[in-house]
Amino acid sequence: MNPSQAFDPLATSYDDTFTHTQIGRYLRDQIHARLDRHFRAGDHVLELGCGTGEDALRLAERGVQVTATDVSEGMLTTTRTKTAGNVLVRVERLDLRTLTPYPPLPHSEGEQLDGVFSNFGPMNCLEEWGTLASWLAKHVKQGGIVGLGVMSPLCMWEPLWHGLHGNFKTAMRRWRKKTVFHPDGVSEPITVTYPSISRITKDFAPHFRRVYVQPLGLFLPPSDVFGAIEKRPRLFNTLMALEKRFGQAAALAMLADHYWIEFQKI
């Protein structure tokens, strides 16, 4: 029996509080556009930290075979329920912190992966990314894409919003480099890190070449502020217009809530 994980208590509410919000949908659509560029029917793709399986299901509905993995049994159960009946999705437990010695790739039967992705933060549970890059290098085809959605170290929203509301601990949390995520105080806590684009690029560099970066949530807020913004339609529409106009500028990626970074296997 695996120990209860920090995300377990969120598994049944995550889609309501994030996936199905207007802002959550817009941000996820940006990633779906990237995934659609790279992966097509017949490809086999590994997902790391799949959460409730929203992206795995979307890809499988387009004919992509997805091995969806996560450390949280609660999240895995939600993914299994959501993707039940779709033979292209396989759901497996994988803890990104235990990649040495390298675990076998679930259900790969020796084949090389066409790509790998990890959306909205699983990379932030690691303190170095070289071990992951070396493991992925063994399993990804030459030219294959690894796409990662990472919580950025500078998110301009957090100091502004939480500072203005007098919540200075939250306002400055990313500047401390590491925080602890422990929503119910009972399950196993997660140490959260905020790696820079250059740090992840350096750790992937022996095996992968960086090919793309974009901000994700530059003018749109982090998820704990979605509700406050979505109930103010004029502000929401203004922020959405700014996001659509300037939200793809790679140079601003470190100021967003997340950045999306893509590597190609050398």
Residues making contact with ligand SAM (CB under 6 A) = 5, 7, 49-51, 54-55, 70-72, 75, 94-97, 119-122, 125, 190
Closest contact distance (angstroms) between CB of 198 and ligand SAM is 23
List the end-to-end C-alpha distance of the chain, in Å, as a whole number: 38
* Residue placing its CB nearer to ligand SAM in the complex, 5 or 21: 5
* Residue placing its CB nearer to ligand SAM in the complex, 31 or 213: 31
* Residue placing its CB nearer to ligand SAM in the complex, 5 or 65: 5
Closest contact distance (angstroms) between CB of 117 and ligand SAM is 9
Q: Whole-angstrom Cα distance, residue 148 to residue 261?
A: 5
Closest contact distance (angstroms) between CB of 256 and ligand SAM is 15
SS (H, E, C) the chain: CCCCECCHHHCCCHHHHHHCCHHHHHHHHHHHHHHHHHCCCCCEEEECCCCCCHHHHHHHHCCCEEEEEECCHHHHHHHHHHHCCCCCEEEEECCCCCCCCCCCCCCCCCCCEEEEEECCCHHHHCCCCHHHHHHHHHHEEEEEEEEEEEECCCCCHHHHHHHHCCCHHHHCHHHHCEEEECCCCCCECEEEECCCHHHHHHHHCCCEEEEEEEEECCCCCCHHHHHHHHCCHHHHHHHHHHHHHHCCCHHHHHHCCEEEEEEEEC
Long-range contacts from 179-183, C-beta under 8 angstroms, 24+ separation = 181/6, 182/6, 183/6, 183/9, 183/10
Closest contact distance (angstroms) between CB of 142 and ligand SAM is 26
* Residue placing its CB nearer to ligand SAM in the complex, 95 or 230: 95
* Residue placing its CB nearer to ligand SAM in the complex, 116 or 190: 190
* Residue placing its CB nearer to ligand SAM in the complex, 119 or 264: 119
Closest contact distance (angstroms) between CB of 96 and ligand SAM is 4
Closest contact distance (angstroms) between CB of 266 and ligand SAM is 25
Q: Which residue is nearest to ligand SAM (CB)?
A: 51
* Residue placing its CB nearer to ligand SAM in the complex, 49 or 215: 49
Closest contact distance (angstroms) between CB of 151 and ligand SAM is 9
